Amino acid sequence: MSPDPQSVRHGDRFLLPFRAIGRPVIQICRHVGQLTVFLVTAFRHLLTPPYYPTEFAQCLYTLGFLSLPIVGLTTLFAGGALALQIYTGGIRFNAEAAVPAIVAIGMVRELGPVLCGLMIAGRSGSSIAAELATMRVSDQIDALETLSIAPMDYLVIPRIAAATVAMPILVGIGDIIGILGGYLVGIYRLGIGEVGYLTQSIEFLDRADIVSSLVKGAVFGFIIAACGCYCGMNARHGARGVGIASTSSVALSSTLIIAANFVLTDLFF
């Protein structure tokens, strides 16, 4: 005996909310699985030759040196704004003298690594994704395979290695410039003494603060390059796919940077 069509329609209507929830959950699980397989494959290729030092050097120059202006400007103004905010809040508790120490600790522990990570994700992560996506949709990656050149070795590994090496350097420079921004605001805007500002900044910074900042930079660099390469290598559907890969890379890497920052902060402090 065949089921009643009306009851089937009612059953489908009942399942609609669950299908609406289930589809994105399944897609997220699928992307997590694909990203995990991609990272495991990248680690395996990272430990085995061949290596391409010329490609690595080019990526290091592009991801590192060319990113210095945006990192410097971002951290300079962030350090100055942080000094103003701390001074304004500290007046209420007669704690305005703590501005140098809090600016130094805040920039090195949190603002420096996170701001650098987010800015590089927007600049270099999207660039990596767009470049590889363009190569994918124009069949250049397939051409490499026909020439017996592994795309993972030639395209992915140099970018991941370069970002992992360059990001701690960028974060260290950003920390220094951020503290300099707070110093300039403190001296010329808030009237804090030069010697006292420098003394407090140095005294209240621990070695653990600096180490955590550099480790965060290396982890964030790995995340940015890995997400950019993953989104670029899996791009489809022509020019539209290139745009989707670029925006997906920025969104994914930014989310993972914030999550990784929480985990690393909990581990270190």
pLDDT tens-place string over residues 154-189: 999 999 999 999 999 999 999 999 999 999 998 888
Tell me the mean pLDDT in the region 113-136. Answer: 93
Mean pLDDT of 105-124: 93
Does the pLDDT at position 38 exceed 90? no
CA-closest candidate to residue 130, choices 269, 248, 7, 2: 248
d(CA 209, CA 262): 15
Query: What are the tens digits of pLDDT across the range 58-71?
Result: 999 999 899 999 99
Confidence (pTM): 0.87
What is the pLDDT confidence band of residue 8, given thresholds at 50, 70 and 90?
very low
pLDDT exceeding 70 applies to what percent of the chain?
93
What pLDDT score does 204 carry? 83
In tens, the pLDDT along 71-85 reads: 999 999 999 999 998
| Radius of gyration, CA atoms only, the chain | 24
